[in-house]
Structure 1
Amino acid sequence: MNEKDYKAFYDRAGKLNGWDFSKVRCQVEGEAADLYREVRQACRPSDFLLDIGTGGGEALLQLRDAAQLLVGIDASAGMIRTAAVNRDRLQADNVRFIQMDAGQIDFPEQFFQIISCRHAPFHAQQAAKVLAANGIFLTQQVTEGDKQNLKQAFGRGQGYCQLAGTLQERMIRELTAAGFKEIAVHHVETAEYYRAAEDLIFLLKHAPIIPGFGEDPADYAVLHRFIEENQSEHGIRTNASRLIVTARKS
């Protein structure tokens, strides 16, 4: 997917579902990555928190008691509309959702003490601009090794054919150039077992793992073969590969 296609995909997903995957029945073997657990631990009650690529705001809203002000931004109008509905349902008065591009963050300099970003693009220089001195930036990203057997079955996918470590090297380089220090990297690898075909299809329809999934009817034949080959007593097996990076602004 090019940038235009990604934006169109996210906008469609935002209108339909946001980032709510609670309907997906999936058993995880091992401890799953949990960026927002680390964000909560880093927050003080007086902090202002910015969440880049907030999607439908589901994760940020779970932190509404952890900081004084929480702001979620997303380039997708559909995602922001879904986030606003979720916020109003919870009456989370200290949470704001704004449509904004991560490449041009329009807030005062050093406005936030914490910045988070999960599974979304970010620009290190923009994050550094609005993060206070000694503030903390935390991101969780999908690595090249994620859903490896699924991408091999389709012959395409998010990060397919990229060298392992490419994303990590780029992030460290960009964060360093933007003035961040104390950069820490943590890899999380788990096995995932999806209970049934409809759970896997929901995931593929609402996340950009296999670009254009379902547009070609042949995709369903590929998926059927994949399920047959990866079915186990626990479910349909694949893997999750995540990279959590934390850094402090100088």
Structure 2
Amino acid sequence: MKKQWDYNTFYERVGQQNGWDFSTMKVISEPTDWDFYDEVTRCTQTSDLLLDIGTGGGEAVLAIAEHAHLLVGIDLAHGMIETAQRNLKRTKKCSNVRFTQMDADNLQFPKSFFNIVSCRHSAFSASEVYNVLAEDGVFLTQQVSEHDKLNVKQAFGRGQHLGIEPGTLLEKYKQELQHAGFQHIEVREYNVTEYYATPEDLLFLLTHTPIVPQFGELASDLDIFEQFVQDHRDEKGIRTNSARFMITARK
């Protein structure tokens, strides 16, 4: 019997090794309609309390720390929070930032505590977010669409959300937010082409994300990867796609 892939173990390992730091990768992309944390800062005032769910190694939120009075990053993985604490220590200037290990399905904060809640590429509980969000507060989440990295997943015959109809996850999250009590919900989507400069850049991505579960553990993976590079490489790089949706909901 084939052993089931343990995502939590994988996530812990990546957290300890790297967090969500992909800054070393060389990749170019078609223009996108937004940058998620730019959108978060547009909604945030310097007097606000900001919660970031699924903060990973804190790489993104540390860059916007000055926009909030207090920034709290949480992650379920102990390894991710360890990396976030190391990254925070290196900054030496973010005294308003706290990182703590916590389950997004059980937020241990007072009711209506935060003005802004953000969540990028991580699971969340709509009812928990609603509970800790102040009146007129804003929740922003960016998630990976089903057809992201579609040619990669098709090549391997397995992948994150492969086989799920595009739009399914978006509708699921919208319904959960509406059921939780959010009244004003806005949606944006993009699907753009991106090019990885070298096979090593794409290899780093696949090794440190769940795009292809168990990547590298199956005997055929290296051969499939090499064939994929050959089939999808041109003068711009190795071609795939980036597909995302963003939901903004106000309490």
Same-fold call, TM > 0.5?
Answer: yes
From 237, 240, 245, give the equivalent of 2:239. Answer: 237
Q: 2:10 matched to which residue of 1?
A: 9
Provide TM-score, normalisation by structure 1. 0.97
Q: Work out which of the residue numbers 102, 105, 111 in structure 2 matches 1:103.
A: 105
1:202 and 1:38 map into 2 onto residues whose CA distance is 27
| Contact 2:5 2:213 survives alignment (8 Å) | no
Instruction: Report the 3-state secondary structure (helix = DSSP H, G, I; strand = E; otherwise coil) of the residue aligned with 2:81.
Output: helix
Say if 2:140 is the partner of 1:138. yes
How far is the alpha carbon of 1:31 from its aligned partner? 2.2
Q: Partner letter of residue 167 of structure 1?
A: L
Match of 1:195 among 197, 204, 207: 197
Aligned twin of 1:51: 52
Task: Give every structure 1 segment of 4 or more consecutive aligned residues whose post-TM-superposition deviation is greater than 3 Å.
Answer: none
Shift of 1:147: 0.3
In structure 1, distance between residues paired with 2:189 and 2:179: 22
TM-score, reference length from structure 2: 0.96
| Superposed CA RMSD | 1.3
- Does the 8 Å CA contact 1:190/1:239 hold for their aligned counterparts? yes
Q: Report the equivalent of 2:163.
A: 161
- Tell me the CA shift for residue 53 of structure 1: 0.2
Q: Please state whether the residue corresponding to 2:65 is helix, strand or coil.
A: coil
Mark the runs of 5 or more structure 2 residues left unpaired by the alignment. none
* Pairing of 1:75-86 with structure 2 (within 5 A): 75-86=76-87
1:11-33: per-residue Cα shift (whole Å, max 9, x none)?
10010000100111101122264
Structure 1 unaligned regions, length at least 5: none
1:144-189 Cα distance to aligned partner (Å, 9 max, x none): 0100000000011001000111001101100000011210000011
**In structure 1, what is the Cα distance between the partners aligned to 2:129 and 2:234?**
43
- The letter of the residue matching 2:68 is A
- Aligned pairs, number: 248
Identity of aligned residues (%): 51
Matches of 2:236 and 2:34, distance apart in 1? 20
